[in-house]
Amino acid sequence: MLSPAITRSLIDHYAADTVAARAAAAADCLRVLTGREKEVAAEVGRGQSNAEITRLLYMSEATVKAHISRVLSKLNATNRVQVAIMMRDAGLT
């Protein structure tokens, strides 16, 4: 049986490694996005709707939809939640 101090140390070490690995993997995946796609993806990560993104980034809704479609495709994501998680992991939300 491990002491509580050792258990806490192991958990902290594992959690730090996992967070760092997820952040590195997310940053690596996001390299395929253009700057504007990253902006749109960041707003998706913040939970913004298409209409809200149009107002925040000064683009038409059709353009927002096109960017989101390309983001989903480039990241091999099937939905906005996966994009949001990746943006959070990368520290961009």
- The CATH number for 50's domain is 1.10.10.10
Give residue 15's pLDDT. 61
Give residue 6's pLDDT. 67
Q: Which residues contact 48 (CB under 8 A, 6 or more apart)?
A: 56
Give residue 21's pLDDT. 85
Phi, psi of 66 (to 5 degrees): -65, -45
Compute and round to an integer the Cα radius of gyration of the chain: 17
Distance CA 32, CA 36 (A): 12
User: Along the 93 residues of the chain, how does pLDDT read in single tens digits?
Assistant: 556 776 677 666 666 677 788 888 889 999 999 999 999 999 999 999 999 999 999 999 999 999 999 999 999 999 999 999 999 989 888
Domain that holds residue 9: 4-89
Q: Give yes or no for a contact between 80 and 93, defined as CB atoms under 8 angstroms apart.
A: no
Global confidence as pTM: 0.79
Looking at the structure of the chain, the number of domains it has is 1
